[in-house]
Structure 1
C-alpha cells in the first residue's frame, strides 16, 4: 500500500522525464541537496546532439535580468504546504463550486497544479504595477540590495559601491520580473488549450511584461493590447509635467492561438453620444475647455475610435469581424457597482477594476461551465463579474480567487469599517454582491457561494533528525505522523490535492460503527482517518468500489493489519487505488 507524497510535484523532474523520452542518452544521475540520487540532464551531450539548432556562444536575442534563473528554479521547486478548509468563513460550503483561497499566490499555484492542470478557461490578474517601492511578494529569489549589487557587478572587490544604488535602479525591475515570471510559468499550466489570459498593467513595466509573456506563452499567442481608459478627460496625473496618464493596458494572450475560443463582436467601447447628452458634468468639462458641440463630438470620436477609419461614423455599430486589421482595442471607462457603496465604506479603492470591463472580457472568451482564475484578486471584482454574468445568461461559470491576506492600513476607511485584511474585504464583497444580484434578478439561479481555504504548512509532522539522534521521547511522538491540530477535513482536502482532484466538488460524511467515512464526489475518493478501523468498515468501503481509498498510517495496529486491508480490496474492489497518509 503506497503512501501519498503530501507535497507538490517536482516540475523539474517532470521535464527531465519528457526529455528522457526524446534523448535518453542525455539523462544521467546526480545527488540532490538531500543527498539522494535523482535524474539529471547532461547538458553538454544534449547541446552536442542539438548542435545544428543551438547557438554556440556569442550573442543571442533574449530578455534577461538578475535572478531570472533563480525565478525559473523557484517555479519548479516542490513545497510541503497544504490548503486548509474553512467552512465557517464560507458561504454555501456544501453546494458551491467557487473557491476563495488566502495565501501567497506562488505557493497556491503550485498546490493547484495537478488538480486544475489544463482546466482553467480564463485567467485575469491585476498585479502590482511596480511604482518604485518594495513588494508584498518576497520570494526566495528576491535579493537584498547588497546581493543584487554583488551579482550584477555594482560593487568593487572591496565591497564598495561603484555608484549609488537608489530605489529606481534595476533591482526593483529584477524583483518584479522574477515575481511575475515564476507565477506566469505556473499559471500557463493551468490554462486549457483554448484558454486566455488577461493582465492589467501600466507604463512602469508594460515593456517588461510583454517580453515575459512572449517568452512564457510565445509571440504567436499574443492577441491584443487592450487600452483601458482609467479616467475621463483629466485621468490620473503622472510626474511628467506636461502629460496626463488616462489609460492602462491589458495584455491579452491565448494558450494556443489555433484553439482560441473568442467571440468576435464589438465589445470594446461605449457609445459616447448618449453619454454626452446625459452626463452634465462631462459636458461642462468639455465646455470649460472651449469646445462647442461639434468640437466635443470630434474629440470624443478621437478618444473612442483613435485607430478607426474616418469613413465609419461613430453613430454606426462597429463590427470587429469586418475591421479585424486594427492592431489595438480601446476600452473606455465602464460604469459598475462601486465597492465603497456596496460595502458601505467611505472611499473608492484605487485601481479597482470596473465591473463592466470584467463583464466584457468574460463575455468574449468564456462559456457556461468554464473556470475563471484570478490570483491577484484584490477586492474580488472578477468574482463579482462571474456571478453577474451567470445571472445574466444562466451560466454556471466557476471562479477561483487567490489573495494574500494583506493587512489594511490602520488609517484606512476599510480598517475603520472593520476590515482588517484585503481578504476580508473580498469575501464580504462577494457575499453582498451575490445578495444584490439575486435581488436584482429574481428567479435567476446562480452560484453565489464560495469555499474558503487558507494556505498553511503541511498536515504532516516534520522530522529533521538522523537515526542516531532519536530519543525514546521522540519515537513516542512519532507514533502518529499527523499534526495534532489537524481535522478530518484538513486531511481530506490535502489528499484531494495530492491525488490531483478538484477541491470544489460535493462530498458526504457518515458514521459507520463509530468511524467517520467521507465520500467525495460520489465515489471519486472515500477516506476514513479513524484509529484502528474495524475490518467490517474496511469491507464496507471496499464493497462501494470507489476509484480511490485513503486511510491514515495509524489506522492499522501493525503491518499484518495493513496487509490485510490490501487483500480485502484485492478481493472486493480490485480496481480501487488504496493509499495511506
Structure 2
C-alpha cells in the first residue's frame, strides 16, 4: 500500500513510510492482549423500555442460541404487549415487531448505568452488628456502584475468578468461551483487567490487600496483569495444596495444588500467628541455620486445651441424647478412671450407677443447666486413651465437680502430622505438646494443610449446609479463613469484598473470624444469577427461559449463595432442619449453632434517567446510602415527609430549609457517621456542613440524583 502511495504521490508515500517505521520500531513491554469490547450482559428481569437495546430470545423449548444481534426498541404497544424494533447501523433499514415476553434487555460495556438495589430478604441474629451483604448482579456493574459507597474503604478483597479452563464455567458476550477459541486468553484478560481496575478504586491505598486464587491455566497471565494494573502493590505468589489425591489429568499430571496471589498496599503486613497456621512439619533443630540469632530462636507455644462441656444454649441436654454421659473421676487422684454410657433424657443424673472412689461428672453449668459434652462416648474414650482428654481443676460445691478438658481435631491433627511436637506425657496420660513459633519470620510460600482440602471442607461443607444442591469446586472454608486471618486479624471492623462470590465461602469464613474474637467485620459478596451450563438445556427443554421465576430460582445467587449465607447464620438448612456436623480445626462447634451475625440480600437494578431525576427511584437508591454509612442499623427507605430523617448511622436532609431541626436531631444520635444533604446550591451545602458535629461526614447529593448515581460503563 505504501508502494502504491509512492507511485501516485511520492511525498505522501515517503511520509507514510517514515511514520510506519517509527511506529513499528516501538515495542510494547509487558502483557499484550486484545481488549475485547463491548462486553455485554443480559438483564432478563429488567422491564423493556423505549430506547432499550434488546435481543430476541429463541422460541420456548428451543436449546438454540437465538438471534444475537442487538435491536433497539422504537415503540411499545402496551395493549398488545408488543415492541417495535429497529436494527441500528444496518445498511438497509430492518424492523420487526416482537412480543415483549420474547425480548431481553442488554447492557453493553460502554453504556451509562444508573444502579439501584432492591432488598430480597435478610436474616438478623447479630444485634447491632453491621450487615453482611450479598448482591445479585453483573459484578463489573456492582463494582462501579460500590465506587460510590466504598471508594478507598475496603480492607481486603478475596476473589476466586473463573480459571478459564475451557469448561463452560463463565460467560462472555452471552456465549461460552470454548477451548478452541483463539481469543480465549485475551477475552479472559480483558474481563479481569476491567474488574481489577474498578476494584483498585475500592481498596484503602494506605493499608489493604487483594488476594486472588488461580490455577496453572492463567497464573502466568494473571501475575503479569496484576503487576501492570497494580504497580504500587507488593505482590507475592503462594502455592497451596487443595487436594492430595489430585484433580483431573493435564499433560500427564494430576493437579493437587493451585496458586494464591497476594497484593499488599501501603502499610499492610502479614499478621504474625501464635500457631503453625501454614506449612508442614517444623524444621528439625539440626537443620536450622546455626547463624540464627537468639531473637529468632523458636519459642514453645502450648496447645489449646478446650472445656469439653458445650457452652451454647442450643446444646442443652435432650438436644443430643448421645452426648450426656458420666465421666468418672477418681476423687483421690483427680484422674479420669472410666466413661459411662449416655443416660436417657428422663433419668435424673444423680441416679446414675456409682463407681467406688469416683465421682460421676456430667456437663452442668454453674446455674444448674444440664448441657452436653462436645463429643460422643466413643470419640471421648478414643481421645482419652491417646492422651487427648483429661480432667482438670476441681470445682468445690459446684454442680460439675471437675472441669473436663480435651483437644480438638485441629491440634490432634497437628500432633499426628508433625506440626506440633510431643515432649512427653503427664501422670494422667495426657499429652504434653507444643508448637514452635519462629518469632517474626514470615509464613512459607508453600502451604500444605489438611484443612485446606477443597473436597472435604469445600464440597462436603457446602453439602452439609445445602443438601441436594451442587456447586462446582467450592473452596475450603478453612483455606479462605486462614489466608484472610493473615491480613485482617488485627482489623476487627474490616470490610472484605468478594466480587466472584459463587458459593459464598468468603462471607462464611468472615463469620468464623468474627466468632473467634467478637469482631464486627463485614463481607460484601457479589455474584450473578447465572444458571449452570449443565442445567440450562434441561430448563429450556421445559419451555423455560431467563427471567422466568422457575429459571431464576436455579441461578447461582438464589440457589446457592444466599441460602448458604442464611444457613450458616441460622444453623438450619433450607428445609428448616438443623445442619448436621461440626466445624473443625481452629474453632470447633456444631454447625447448628450458627453465628450471631446479620445479612441482607440485594439485587442490582438498572434505573432510567427519568425515574432518577424525579426521585421515583429513591427506594432503590436508599440501600446505597445505607451501605456507605456502614451497613448497620435502620435504613431510610422513603423520601422523608418532614424534609429530613435520621437513622442509626446516617441522616438525610432533602429540604435545606429544614436544616435547623435536622442538625439538632443529628447531634442527639451517638455514632452517626454521615449526613446526606440534598441541594444544588454549593453555598448552602457548605453552610449546613459547618453546623454538623465533629466526626459527622457531610455528603452532598444533587437534587436530580442523576449525577450521584450514574456510572459510565467502561470509560
Does residue 271 of structure 2 align to residue 262 of structure 1?
Answer: yes
Match of 1:430 among 540, 562, 565: 565
Contact 1:199-1:250 within 8 A present in 2 as well:
yes
Gaps of 5+ in 1: 1-54, 146-165, 273-277, 279-299, 306-314, 463-479, 554-561
Q: TM-score, normalised by structure 2?
A: 0.50
Q: Is the 8 A contact 1:542 1:568 kept in 2?
A: no
Q: Does 1:82 align with 2:92?
A: no
Partner SS state of residue 652, structure 2: strand
**Residues 508, 406 of structure 1: alpha-carbon distance in 2 compared, 3 angstrom cutoff:** closer
Counterpart CA distance in 1 for 2:632 and 2:676 is 17
- The answer as to whether partners of 1:380 and 1:430 remain within 8 angstroms in 2 is yes
**Greater fraction strand:** 2
The 5 Å alignment of 1:547-566 reads 548-550=675-677
Which of 489, 494, 519 pairs up with 2:619?
A: 489
Task: Name the SS for the 1:124 alignment partner.
Answer: strand
Secondary structure of 1:580 counterpart: coil
**Residues 626 and 635 of structure 2 are in contact (CA less than 8 Å); yes or no, is this contact kept in structure 1?**
no
What root-mean-square deviation, in Å, do the aligned CA atoms of Structure 1 and Structure 2 show? Answer: 4.8
Among residues 145, 148, 172, which one is paired with 1:111 in the alignment? 145
1-structure distance, mates of 2:629, 2:656:
30
In 1: Cα distance, 2:639 partner to 2:219 partner? 58
Cα deviation digits, residues 372-396 of structure 1 (max 9, x gap): 1111011101111111221122211
CA deviation vs aligned residue, 1:336-380 (integer Å, no higher than 9, x gap): 361112112165x32110011112112211131111111101110
Contact 1:460 1:483 in 2 (8 A): no
Q: 1:569 to 1:75 in 2, by over 3 A?
A: same
Q: Distance in 2 between matches of 1:77 and 1:379?
A: 29
Assess if the C-alpha contact under 8 Å between 2:475 and 2:505 holds in 1. Answer: yes
Matched, 1:505 2:632: yes
Secondary structure in 2 aligned to 1:91?
Answer: strand
Instruction: Give the whole-Å Cα distance in 1 for the aligned partners of 2:660 and 2:643.
Output: 15
2:30 pairs with one of 54, 58, 62: 62
Residue 540 of structure 1 is aligned with which of 638, 661, 680? 661
Q: 1 CA distance for matches of 2:442 and 2:675?
A: 50
Distance 1:534 1:225, change over 3 A: closer
| Contact persistence 1:81–1:455 (CA under 8 A) | no
Q: Matched residues in 1 for 2:434 and 2:656: separation? A: 75
User: 1:263: how far off?
Assistant: 2.6
**Residue 157 of structure 2 is aligned to residue 123 of structure 1:** yes
CA distance in 1 between counterparts of 2:648 and 2:601 reads 18
CA shift in 2, pair 1:398/1:431, >3 Å: same
CA displacement 1:225-282 (0-9 Å, x = unmatched): 23232x233x112243x321122212222123x542433563224679xxxxx9xxxx
1:210 and 1:397 map into 2 onto residues whose CA distance is 28
Matching of residues 123-522 of structure 1 within 5 Å: 123-132=157-166, 136-138=170-172, 167-192=179-204, 193-218=206-231, 221-229=234-242, 231-233=243-245, 235-240=246-251, 242-256=252-266, 258-263=267-272, 266-269=276-279, 317=435, 319=437, 321=439, 324=442, 327-332=445-450, 333-334=452-453, 335-336=456-457, 338-345=461-468, 347=470, 349-367=471-489, 368-408=492-532, 411=535, 419-424=553-558, 425-436=560-571, 440=589, 447-458=596-607, 460-461=609-610, 481-482=613-614, 486=617, 488-494=618-624, 501-502=628-629, 504-507=631-634, 515=642, 517-522=644-649
Shift of 1:211: 0.7
Q: Which has the larger radius of gyration?
A: 2
Q: Is the 8 A contact 2:168 2:533 kept in 1?
A: no
* Larger RCO of the pair (alpha carbons < 8 Å, separation 6+): 1
If the length of structure 1 is used for normalisation, what is the TM-score? 0.60
CA distance in 2, matches of 1:572, 1:341: 51
Which region of structure 1 is more displaced relative to structure 2, 358-367 or 202-211? 358-367
CA–CA distance in structure 2, aligned partners of residues 385 and 215 of structure 1 = 30
Aligned mates of 1:507, 1:209 — CA distance in 2: 41
Asked if 2 retains the 8 angstrom alpha-carbon contact of 1:120 and 1:195, the reply is yes
**How far did 1:548 drift?**
3.7
Q: 1:445 to 1:132 in 2, by over 3 A?
A: closer
